Amino acid sequence: MLRRGFQAAVILGHHGTLPGATHLLPRFNPASAFGSSMESLVSRFCQEMKKSKNYALPNASWGPDMLSLYHEFLEKTKTNGWVRVPSFRSNRDHIQGFKLPLDLSANSDKSDWRLFTRCIEREGQGYEYVIFFQPSEKKSICLFQPGPYLEGVPGFVHGGSLAALIDETFSKTAYLSGEGLLTVNFNIRFKNLIPLGSLAVLNVNVEKIEDQKMYLSCVTQSRDQQTVYAKASGTFLQMHLEEDSSRQ
């Protein structure tokens, strides 16, 4: 399905800084580069994996706010084109059958390695979140209920843990919107602290796609939108994943 005439692996290792357009491999053709349609990206990325547990599902630790907003969006997946993005212990589960560009896969990915935002297994203790993606608008919503292990200032969420979830939501949105893969720039402005155990809603939008880079923005606020917790922006580098024929 994804066999193309061009070799699009972007090799970061050969460059001192992240490549701009001039550092791309000669055969790279931007025009046809990200021809993987969003539909195929979404269907490939969002398929349920039989062997891997999907964490983007309610569990006993979810509070009433988290649950009700989750169900609201679940309804929208049936009527309005929203997609619930599954979430696995490792991002490797999303890209089975595909390989990372050469230099990135230098380290073998061991089975006990975990996605940072899924590192705390115990329900309700760390990150409880689910991402819904709207393909037609290239935007996402992430429902986030932080547990006690994410503490920074006593009683409140650690700024770094929020930054990590925003980066993760950016990453999923960027990938589904056009194969955005690696964070190039990340900027966050903290406005208010999020109390542990409360619900925060991350609204992510793809603002622009230009020169192989995707520009995203995020506003994190309370459900009623009365309190803005943080605003962030991120830039992601688009990278096409080759099918891994050796695995088939």
With respect to another protein, which residue has the nearer C-beta, 18 or 42?
18
Q: Is 167 a catalytic residue?
A: yes
CA gap 219, 246 in Å, rounded = 41
Determine contact, residues 129/142, Cβ cutoff 8 Å.
Answer: yes
Q: Nearest approach, Cβ of 137 to another protein (angstroms)?
A: 24
Q: Nearest approach, Cβ of 79 to another protein (angstroms)?
A: 27
With respect to another protein, which residue has the nearer C-beta, 43 or 105?
105
Q: Nearest approach, Cβ of 76 to another protein (angstroms)?
A: 22
Q: Which helix (H) or strand (E) holds 72?
A: helix 64-79
Q: Nearest approach, Cβ of 191 to another protein (angstroms)?
A: 9
Q: Choosing from 65, 109, 112, 167, which is the catalytic residue? A: 167
Give the orientation angle of helix 159-178 with respect to helix 38-45, to 10 degrees. Answer: 130
Determine contact, residues 234/218, Cβ cutoff 8 Å.
Answer: yes
Determine contact, residues 58/37, Cβ cutoff 8 Å.
Answer: no
With respect to another protein, which residue has the nearer C-beta, 82 or 229?
229
With respect to another protein, which residue has the nearer C-beta, 8 or 167?
167
Determine contact, residues 34/238, Cβ cutoff 8 Å.
Answer: yes
Q: Which residues are catalytic?
A: 167
